[in-house]
Chains A and B, each alone.
Chain A
């Protein structure tokens, strides 16, 4: 089975997913955490020649990987602007809610898959940092008789403002990671080098990708670990669904053309969203992968949903 290795090939279903695996050949992510708070990893894959779906076009599989990569290469630079335009800023609320649901403690390790430009990663770091700082403050206040020198020394000695937390951001696309890395450096975080890990094989087909990705997510987490997925989902209200479809198909490609000069990528985006499983279906798939206490919460009438499961 000596298929040639190539640039990362991912099947895309909304923002949340990029992991996929050939059933049976499970070579996983490296389990050692790098010594820097934020490190970017680019995974390269092997391909398999079968048909799959690219939005509503059916293309041979070898083409799809390239197409998906191109979608995000052109999308990377304008990604953040487009997100704000398309969701009218609501995507920030969704991501904040995800962090709120997550409630990470200082010391938590985050693996941000398809993390792109790092929206979730930065929210996580800010959350953990502010928690750590308030914890520090509380500790200092609790000690009654500290001299000025002792207080000053305590603040100076503080090496790690994050309390041991780390984030690893994975994404198929170098451009997205580059943008994310620039943001990290601008905000004062140490960002590690990117490197390719060529041990992850891939399968195509949206449903197979999800199942395989969930299995891998389950394998990677430590016991007690939590899996969270913020993803586009199915709208429950028929009238809102109609308006949402109208908006998606009529307005979003136009926005893509005017702002990013790219109609096709955004047409693909809205089509691929409709292929994603519903909240209940996805919940069952997560349970099938071995997670316990699986719950979901629909946001904005079901336009997006946050699914959560634990590895026990």
Chain B
């Protein structure tokens, strides 16, 4: 059967993506044991939950997840998949930025995670008002969210970059606290604009541009006239938020941290403020 396929493979050689795929396809040899599942670069899974994917699969996933996220806004997993499949280049830039910063480099080395198992909730509760830790906890309570709802990274084909995007996801709640934005749709869009300017991730940019589609005219007006310019300006002036070792700054006053980053107060008071 292999001899029959050779002319087909030769014709497919003109399309580089397909020949790589053709090489990965398990050839059906009758009677023999099936080979191990197709791999994108010859290596197996690089970290737990990793699913190696070919460029074609990534493209299909990106398109499909974008469409599904628009169709059903409750599919947060689709937004995550979109981020993972489109963010490779940007994640490299972010990773290099982190390496150049001393605090960022520490984060890359130590790889802290934010979840209910790694956070000492009792200690955070006991911290004074206006401290980062206490305000973060208040944000979680008021908006009834938990840091454990972040799905693990699956489609990033580099172990360090997988951590970078995981860190970005876990830091998202911190940004809500820093910016003083609730988890309503309006609040999420504002944070997305901030993240889009800060990180340049395609998923953030798409979310920032397409998120407002579902908003009412009134909210849209407030968003465009006041909130977006504020978010964009803060995003530009603030240093890279991924470089902050939040776990070491729980006691730091939130006001002081905002001053350090150059984050100003929001122009409009959004209902349900954290």
Are A and B physically bound partners?
yes
B89: CB under 8 A from chain A?
A: no
Q: Are the C-beta atoms of A234 and B60 separated by less than 8 Å?
A: no
Of the candidates A56, A250, A253, A278, the one whose C-beta lies within 8 Å of that of B36 is: A56
Q: Are the C-beta atoms of B34 and A239 separated by less than 8 Å?
A: no
Segment from B1-9, B217-225, B235-243 that makes contact with A: B1-9
- The chain B residue sitting closest to A249, CB to CB, is B38
Q: Are the C-beta atoms of A278 and B25 separated by less than 8 Å?
A: no
A84 CB to nearest chain B CB (Å): 15
Q: Are the C-beta atoms of A258 and B61 separated by less than 8 Å?
A: yes
Residues from chain A with a CB closer than 8 A to the CB of B81 are 257-258
Residues from chain A with a CB closer than 8 A to the CB of B54 are 250
B203 CB to nearest chain A CB (Å): 15
Q: Are the C-beta atoms of B64 and A242 separated by less than 8 Å?
A: no
A294: CB under 8 A from chain B?
A: no
Q: Are the C-beta atoms of B64 and A254 separated by less than 8 Å?
A: yes
B114: CB under 8 A from chain A?
A: no
Give the distance in Å from the alpha carbon of A245 to the alpha carbon of B25 in the complex.
7
Of the candidates B34, B51, B67, the one whose C-beta lies within 8 Å of that of A275 is: B34
Residues from chain B with a CB closer than 8 A to the CB of A254 are 57, 60-61, 64
254-312 of chain A: CB within 8 A of chain B: 254-255, 257-259, 261, 263-264, 267, 271, 274-275, 278
In the complex, number of A-B residue pairs with CB atoms less than 8 Å apart: 63
Give the distance in Å from the alpha carbon of A10 to the alpha carbon of B44 in the complex.
28
A264 CB to nearest chain B CB (Å): 8
Residues from chain B with a CB closer than 8 A to the CB of A242 are 5, 8, 22, 25
B244: CB under 8 A from chain A?
A: no
Q: Are the C-beta atoms of A255 and B64 separated by less than 8 Å?
A: yes
Of the candidates A238, A257, A278, the one whose C-beta lies within 8 Å of that of B4 is: A238
B interface, over-half SS: helix
Of the candidates A239, A241, A261, A263, the one whose C-beta lies within 8 Å of that of B51 is: A263
Q: Are the C-beta atoms of B77 and A271 separated by less than 8 Å?
A: no
Residues from chain B with a CB closer than 8 A to the CB of A241 are 28
Q: Are the C-beta atoms of B61 and A246 separated by less than 8 Å?
A: no
How many A residues have CB within 8 A of the partner chain?
Answer: 26
Q: Are the C-beta atoms of A238 and B37 separated by less than 8 Å?
A: no
Q: Are the C-beta atoms of B34 and A274 separated by less than 8 Å?
A: yes
Give the distance in Å from the alpha carbon of A56 to the alpha carbon of B38 in the complex.
10
B234: CB under 8 A from chain A?
A: no
B153: CB under 8 A from chain A?
A: no
Of the candidates A250, A263, A267, A275, the one whose C-beta lies within 8 Å of that of B56 is: A250
- The chain B residue sitting closest to A281, CB to CB, is B30
Q: Are the C-beta atoms of B65 and A258 separated by less than 8 Å?
A: yes
Q: Are the C-beta atoms of B61 and A261 separated by less than 8 Å?
A: no
A251: CB under 8 A from chain B?
A: yes
Q: With A234-B28, A250-B56, A274-B28 given, is the CB distance from A267 to B37 under 8 Å?
A: yes
Q: With A250-B54, A257-B81, A261-B77 given, is the CB distance from A56 to B37 under 8 Å?
A: yes
Give the distance in Å from the alpha carbon of A234 to the alpha carbon of B34 in the complex.
14
Of the candidates A238, A267, A274, the one whose C-beta lies within 8 Å of that of B1 is: A238
Residues from chain B with a CB closer than 8 A to the CB of A263 are 51, 154
Give the distance in Å from the alpha carbon of A212 to the alpha carbon of B263 in the complex.
70
B152 CB to nearest chain A CB (Å): 13
B206 CB to nearest chain A CB (Å): 16
B26: CB under 8 A from chain A?
A: yes
Q: Are the C-beta atoms of A246 and B57 separated by less than 8 Å?
A: no
A55: CB under 8 A from chain B?
A: yes
Q: Are the C-beta atoms of A253 and B57 separated by less than 8 Å?
A: yes
Give the distance in Å from the alpha carbon of A275 to the alpha carbon of B29 in the complex.
11
Q: Are the C-beta atoms of B34 and A271 separated by less than 8 Å?
A: yes
Q: Mark B18-50, 1 if CB is under 8 A from A, else 0.
A: 100110111010100011111000000000000
B140: CB under 8 A from chain A?
A: no
Residues from chain B with a CB closer than 8 A to the CB of A239 are 8
Give the distance in Å from the alpha carbon of A250 to the alpha carbon of B20 in the complex.
12
Give the distance in Å from the alpha carbon of A255 to the alpha carbon of B57 in the complex.
10
Residues from chain B with a CB closer than 8 A to the CB of A234 are 28
Give the distance in Å from the alpha carbon of A55 to the alpha carbon of B38 in the complex.
12
Residues from chain A with a CB closer than 8 A to the CB of B22 are 242
Give the distance in Å from the alpha carbon of A166 to the alpha carbon of B28 in the complex.
41
Residues from chain A with a CB closer than 8 A to the CB of B65 are 257-258
Q: Are the C-beta atoms of A246 and B60 separated by less than 8 Å?
A: no
Residues from chain B with a CB closer than 8 A to the CB of A249 are 24-25, 38
Give the distance in Å from the alpha carbon of A78 to the alpha carbon of B34 in the complex.
29
Q: Which residues from chain A sit less than 8 Å from chain B, CB to CB? A: 55-56, 234, 238-239, 241-242, 245-246, 249-251, 253-255, 257-259, 261, 263-264, 267, 271, 274-275, 278
Contacts A/B (CB < 8 Å), 27 sampled:
A56-B26, A56-B34, A56-B35, A56-B36, A238-B1, A238-B4, A238-B8, A242-B5, A242-B8, A242-B22, A245-B25, A245-B26, A246-B18, A246-B21, A249-B24, A249-B38, A250-B60, A253-B57, A257-B61, A257-B65, A258-B61, A258-B68, A258-B78, A261-B75, A271-B37, A275-B34, A278-B30
Q: A250-B56, A250-B60 are in contact. List 6 more A-B contacts (CB 8 A).
A: A246-B18, A246-B25, A249-B25, A251-B60, A264-B51, A274-B34
